């Protein structure tokens, strides 16, 4: 599994790299995991999302916020500096459990990454992604997920909120889920008895390790 850190990159540029890598994997090349942060952008999925955007396109343009239609599943979400986005260009047609297990493994990689930083996280049945523990009195969303699949190879992926500023979510209904509230690793860690600064590089390292544990040598069906 090849891991490529793209740093801060515009959404469209990263999408072009995904499509190039997808073609390479379809031709027999190595699976690739891209790690990236994006300038502020709101993205719409195949299941819609325009109805869950609270402001006009003109307002977004005036604020320097991009609006992008994507080919991933899911509804509306947003990306911004301080959020770690991971794009796995992986074969799912050769993995046991197919797409369902792929999502479960991605969620598990994120959950274990959160635990590394002292943040309790879990799945929420019926809603792909990772949420804070309901034992804390309600669930807030730490990580959104949505993928596209072409001839058995995935692209798009997940977005894990790391830094404390999640204010861009105020412009949307998060993932189209009424009442869903965003949070981040930094915000949740600050609630702990021993809070320390969370560095993006360390989050990247931990998430990469957890991805390698689940995807570097996927079992064949």
Pairing state between β 41-44 and 66-69: parallel
Among 78, 114, 143, 175, the active-site one is 175
Return phi, psi of residue 14, to 5°.
-65, -35
Cα 221 to Cα 48, 90, 96, 161, distances in angstroms: 33, 15, 5, 33
- Domain spans of the chain, in order of start: 2-215
Predicted confidence at residue 211, as pLDDT, reads 97
Predicted confidence at residue 152, as pLDDT, reads 95
Task: Tell whether the torsion through CA atoms of 157, 161, 167 and 173 is positive or negative.
Answer: positive
Predicted confidence at residue 195, as pLDDT, reads 54
Predicted confidence at residue 175, as pLDDT, reads 77
Predicted confidence at residue 126, as pLDDT, reads 85
175: annotated active-site residue = yes
Task: State the chain's mean pLDDT as an integer.
Answer: 91
Distance (Å, whole) CA 141 – CA 121: 9
Cα-atom radius of gyration of the chain, to the nearest Å? Answer: 17
Predicted confidence at residue 219, as pLDDT, reads 44
Distance (Å, whole) CA 121 – CA 62: 36
- Residues in the chain, pLDDT under 70: 134-137, 192-196, 217-221
What does pTM read for this prediction?
0.93
CATH topology of domain 2-215: BirA Bifunctional Protein; domain 2 (3.30.930)
């Amino acid at each position: 599994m090849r891991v490529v850190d793209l740093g801060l990159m515009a959404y469209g540029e990263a999408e072009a790299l995904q499509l190039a890598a997808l073609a390479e994997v379809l031709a027999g090349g190595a699976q690739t995991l891209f790690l990236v942060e994006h300038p502020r952008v709101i993205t719409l999925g195949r299941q819609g999302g325009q109805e869950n955007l609270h402001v006009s396109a003109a307002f977004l343009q005036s604020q320097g916020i991009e609006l992008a239609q994507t080919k991933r599943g899911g509804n509306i979400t947003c990306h911004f500096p301080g959020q770690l986005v991971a794009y796995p260009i992986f074969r799912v047609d050769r993995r046991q459990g197919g797409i369902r297990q792929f999502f479960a493994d991605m969620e598990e990689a994120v959950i274990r990454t959160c635990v590394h930083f002292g943040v309790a996280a879990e799945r929420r049945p019926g809603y792909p992604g990772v949420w804070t523990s309901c034992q804390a009195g309600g669930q807030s969303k730490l990580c959104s997920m949505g993928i596209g699949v072409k001839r058995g190879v995935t692209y798009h992926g997940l977005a894990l909120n790391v830094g404390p500023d999640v204010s861009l979510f105020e412009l949307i209904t998060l993932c189209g889920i009424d009442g869903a509230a965003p949070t981040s690793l930094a915000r949740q860690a600050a609630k702990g008895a021993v809070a320390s600064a969370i560095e993006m590089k360390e989050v990247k390292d931990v998430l990469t390790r957890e991805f390698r544990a689940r995807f570097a040598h996927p079992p064949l069906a």
